[in-house]
Homo-oligomer: A and B are copies of this chain.
Amino acid sequence: MNATRKKEIVKIAASLIKEKGYNAVSMRDIAQAMNIKAASLYNHISGKQEILSSLIIEVAEKFTEEMNTIASENLSPLQKIERVIEIHIDITVNYSENIATLNNDWMHLEGSALKRVVKMREDYEENFRKIIKKGISEGEIKSKHPEVILFSILSTLRTLYLWNEKRGKMDVNVLKKDMVAVLLKGIV
């Protein structure tokens, strides 16, 4: 039970699943990408589900931790939203394969792992919603429909992984600045 070998498997699997989706990637596909046979994978992992849940929970926990930190900080709502945008960009840059799987294949999780991830997602959204509502009630945010704002910002952040490759030469800090500007102040 070499732990680093398990991480290798999960990492290889992540890149395959990102491209083709969980159900379209077989254990034999993953094994081949590691230059071993499918049965050998089971010396390191309990099954395909464990690959999926490791992959997803790793990054979901990251989001939860960061969001909890932001929620407890002493910042204005707008400053908090700015921080949320930044941590999304940071996590996306470092875990883009995991995020693809979290977004597209979370529903293939089973049992307690599924419940846990759904709960984390709901809590995350609820934290974000509270920040926006406070921003509206304090007058820092103008629009009246928090759901539209929540949805609009979160959609952009969640699909950032799709554009990260095209990002090319653009520096991460430039991207952060631009995204904060576009999402908060609009384009006109």
| Interface set of A (CB-CB < 8 Å, partner B) | 19-24, 78, 104-105, 107-108, 135, 140-143, 145, 147-149, 151-152, 155-156, 158-160, 162-163, 166, 170, 175, 178-179, 181-188
Complex contacts, A21 vs chain B, CB 8 Å: 21-23, 104-105, 107-108
Q: A23-B24, A78-B188, A142-B188 are in contact. Are A182 and B148 (CB under 8 A)?
A: yes
Q: How far is the CB of A56 from chain B (nearest CB, A)?
A: 15
Complex contacts, A22 vs chain B, CB 8 Å: 21
Query: Would you call B19 and A107 a contact (CB within 8 A)?
Result: yes
Q: Chain A at the B interface: mostly helix, strand, loop or mixed?
A: helix
Complex contacts, A185 vs chain B, CB 8 Å: 186, 188
Q: Which of A21, A145, A148, A185 neighbours the largest number of chain B CB atoms within 10 Å of its CB?
A: A148
Within 8 Å by CB of A181, from B19, B143, B159, lies: B143
The 5 closest A-B pairs by CB, nearest first: A186-B186, A23-B23, A155-B159, A185-B186, A155-B156
A141 CA / B186 CA spacing, docked (Å)? 9
Query: Would you call A184 and B179 a contact (CB within 8 A)?
Result: no
A44 CA / B156 CA spacing, docked (Å)? 40
Query: Would you call A188 and B184 a contact (CB within 8 A)?
Result: yes
Query: Would you call A184 and B183 a contact (CB within 8 A)?
Result: no
A20 CA / B160 CA spacing, docked (Å)? 23
Query: Would you call B143 and A151 a contact (CB within 8 A)?
Result: no
Complex contacts, A160 vs chain B, CB 8 Å: 151, 155
Q: Which of A166, A182, A185 neighbours the largest number of chain B CB atoms within 10 Å of its CB?
A: A182
